[in-house]
Chains A and B, each alone.
Chain A
Amino acid sequence: MIGNGAIIAADVAPILEPSSAATGIFAWIWLLIALPLAGAIVLLTTGRWTNRFGHLIGVATVVIAAGLAIAMLIEMMGRSAEARSFEQTLYSWVFAGQFQVDVAFQLDQLSMVFVLLITIVGSLIHIYSIGYMAHDPDRRRFFGFLNLFVAAMLLLVLADNYLLLYVGWEGVGLASFLLIGFWQYKPSAAAAAKKAFVINRVGDVGLSLAIMLMFVTFGSVTFESVFSSAGGASDSTLTWIGLLLLLAAAGKSAQFPLQAWLLDAMEGPTPVSALIHAATMVTAGVYLIVRSNAIYDKTVFAATTVVVIGVITMIIGAVIGSAKDDIKKALAGSTMSQIGYMVLAAGLGPVGYVFAIFHLLTHGVFKANLFLSAGSVMHGMNNGVDMRRFGALRAVMMITFGAFMFGYLAIIGIPPFSGFYSKDKIILAAFEQNTIVGISAVLAAGITGFYMTRMFTMTFLGKARWDDDAHPHESPPVMTIPLIVLAIGSLGLGASLYYWGDIVEWLAPVTGYESRPIAIPTTVLEAITLVIVLIGVAIAVLMYGKSVPIEPPQKVSVLTIAARNNLYDDATNDIVAVRPTWYAARFLVWFDNRIVDGAVNASAAFVGGASGRLRRLQNGFTRSYALVMVIGVIVVFGVLALVGLS
């Protein structure tokens, strides 16, 4: 919460503001979570009874929550920057000696934008799902899971301590597992869900260790006390906390090296992909890092690691996205890359936090737009996802085409679409900090231009390469209206947030903001970036503009093959984690069976054998026992005689 250095927003004072008690409309913070949670409970417990209208309940809860969030935003904007943070304590949750945790919510500027993103984009995805899942027999269950997802994500961003955040964090993991594996009868979907869950677990271990370390170090897990006493902890402790939080963020946000689950997560229904990639789940990692800015500000090593992870993910996501023929997987690669941008920005420190969140917001909108458009295309193409069998869809689905195009222009950063503002700010911040990082960001922007153009051209332009039984058609209004809303957001959100909403000033009290001069003038840099993006676009148009073979060409470069195989992340995981675990398990089984059981069985056999022989002494003959007694008497007598009876 402390922005040290030059504050460009003049009226933001670098002080640690105590949160004010939640009064007025802010007394209803808990309702934001309770609404979708109640929806989930109702939908998941009532059974067939609510099959007919259950989805409407699901939509209503999220829409009402969105309305409440908007009302809170308006109320919050009416207050001064110092009075925009609210706390609400519901009840005391854990009280074990020193360990005191409340179920308490904190609504500040950062949480507010997340709540808005989650509820509004969530609402649009819910509405869209009405049409998309209309023919699914399990639609009620689907909406129940979606509500659970939204509720968990809201809990995550509204919690005022790490432990409650962890509950939301796990809730998101559970909901994503349930939704990715929604069509669990497909083995691939079930496997993908399991994969996502397991890889997320790795990150969760990081988060739980970080929380334990915080408690040991600071004696508390609330944001307020952890951040205010962060300066008192040793460097190494802070670095460890930072790295563990980064591990957690990498798991949730699909950052290198835990990115492997994201592409498989496309097995879920498309609205789920949109929800995971735009509004929830993957943004949680970025939220965690930005929320913990007080820690990263004080540990250079952890912050640098965050940047490195962000850069790596940004590049590999873009490369994978360039080679995929599956429209959803290409978009998933793009998400990885864009989240990489955000993580990179978050690692830059006070220069970048604001822009990480800014990009997260715009990306949330245009990525939802892109995914839902892709879903609309699939809806019209018998659920096909192979872009080599699309083409020339512009004519048959104009609205989808338009929406997709807006999202496309937004993501590659063409002014005045929203991606331009957020992404260029990250590139600028990267150059401020480090030239190599900046160049990487520009390069990734170029690759983004390439793969998005490739996707756009293969899907909507060129010649029709449809399957014989495909009868592409525009989707119903319940699906297209959210598309239109999101398309407008893709167009205008960036500019309106930057100029009218003044996102930097809005977030600065929470994250701090500073700006340093850079060598290259911003305008020139923006121009260079734009040129490189356009070069990427041009290459894509040259390669895919004229003709696209239906079968993917086999004679391709090594890089393409690697990218098609997700840069061998599964193989890497296999070698690094799965195989060693497997061999270790085999060894342990062998060890257990042979050594441990062997020792136990051998001693048991020894005792058994010895007693089998010893028990023969008990022959049941009274006279033998009497004989033994006589022997005993003789021995006693002998001993007595020897030691001197006389």
Chain B
Amino acid sequence: MIEQIGTGEAVVFWVCAVLSVVGALGLILSRRAVHSALWLALTMISLAVLYIANAAPFLGMVQIIVYTGAVMMLFLFVLMVVGVDASDSLVETIRGQRWAAIILGLGFGMLLTAGIANALVGAQMVGLDGPNSQYGGNVEGLARLLFSDYLVAFEIVAALLIVAAVGALVLAHREKWQPKLTQRDLAIQRVRTGLHPGNQPPPGVYARHNSVDTPALLPDGSIAEQSVPEPLRVRGDLRPVDTAAITETTELAEGHAADGPRDHPVADDPGSSPGEGR
């Protein structure tokens, strides 16, 4: 029983083969790791198609779901942790490594392909129509093998997955060297350091501004530096003090002195309270 490869499959093969080699080359030639991951995903999807073409629909699905879906997402996740921008420098640190690797790799590839081609010249393909249909389908056939001939290996692999999961937990675990600090401990620590013990002063908020980059004013009219978050301060993104508005407000307050003192002109404005409540 000899199965011949039809033209349709040949077309699929050549398309997917080219795509997968391009993806592989892209993987090793991209400078940025994210690009590599995306190229690899292309290769894997192409391979999934080839699996299906090779009468292995179950593996093709698993390839897409597990590899392209789960494993590649895991890779991308780790890449996000490590830093998306991380890219290799082009300078090779080990002398001669790159050229030796390329020459040896190509030599190895040639040996491999030559060996395979030599071994498979004139090979006849039996095909999987028989085995696949024996128990009603590819999945049923695989299941039968897995739970009969390969049962021990299957169980061992199950154990391996558990161990791998636990191992990942252990590796990623960070040991605590001292007891967790409570609120009380933090309070004591803050007082002991002698810095400003209470809350920082909130940003200066006036009737017309409620942005955190507005500095608060001290009684003498100067700026309270600490009222603005440090990154803004360092960047110099302080909103300049609108002296005209202040003067106007002061005049208004003096003009309506009979209405009573108004120390906090914005206190009644519920939407303009960006700082922490006191």
Contacts and interface: CB of A to CB of B under 8 A. Distances in A.
Given A624-B94, A645-B115, A646-B115, 14 more contacts: A623-B97, A624-B97, A627-B100, A627-B101, A627-B104, A630-B101, A630-B105, A634-B104, A634-B107, A634-B108, A637-B115, A638-B111, A641-B115, A646-B119
Interface in B60-114: 93-94, 97, 100-101, 104-105, 107-108, 111-112
Contact of B111 (A624, A627, A641): A641
Contacts of B115: 637, 640-641, 645-646
Interface in A573-624: 619, 621, 623-624
A16 interface: no
Interface residues of A, number: 15
Contacts of B118: 645-646
Given A627-B104, A646-B118, A634 B111 contact: yes
Contacts of A630: 101, 104-105, 108
Interface residues of B, number: 14
B108 A627 contact: no
B94 A623 contact: yes
Given A637-B112, A637-B115, A645-B119, A627 B107 contact: no
A638 B104 CA distance: 13
A641 B117 CA distance: 13
B97 A627 contact: yes
Contacts of B119: 645-646
A634 B112 CA distance: 9
- Tell me the dominant secondary structure on chain B's binding face: helix
Interface of A: 619, 621, 623-624, 627, 630-631, 633-634, 637-638, 640-641, 645-646
B105 to A, nearest CB: 7
Contacts of B107: 634
B121 to A, nearest CB: 9
Interface in B132-159: none
A621 B104 contact: no
B44 to A, nearest CB: 23
Nearest to B111: A637
Contacts of A619: 94
B115 to A, nearest CB: 6
A306 B270 CA distance: 134
A621 B112 contact: no
Nearest to B97: A623
Nearest to B114: A641
A634 B107 CA distance: 8
30 contacts: A619-B94, A621-B93, A621-B94, A623-B94, A623-B97, A623-B101, A624-B94, A624-B97, A627-B97, A627-B100, A627-B101, A627-B104, A630-B101, A630-B104, A630-B105, A630-B108, A633-B108, A634-B107, A634-B108, A634-B111, A637-B108, A637-B111, A637-B112, A637-B115, A638-B111, A641-B111, A641-B115, A645-B115, A646-B115, A646-B118
B96 to A, nearest CB: 9
A623 B95 CA distance: 12
A621 B105 CA distance: 18
A623 B96 CA distance: 12
A550 B111 CA distance: 112
A635 to B, nearest CB: 10
A210 B20 CA distance: 96
Contacts of A634: 104, 107-108, 111
A624 B104 CA distance: 12
A350 to B, nearest CB: 97
B111 A631 contact: no
Contacts of B101: 623, 627, 630
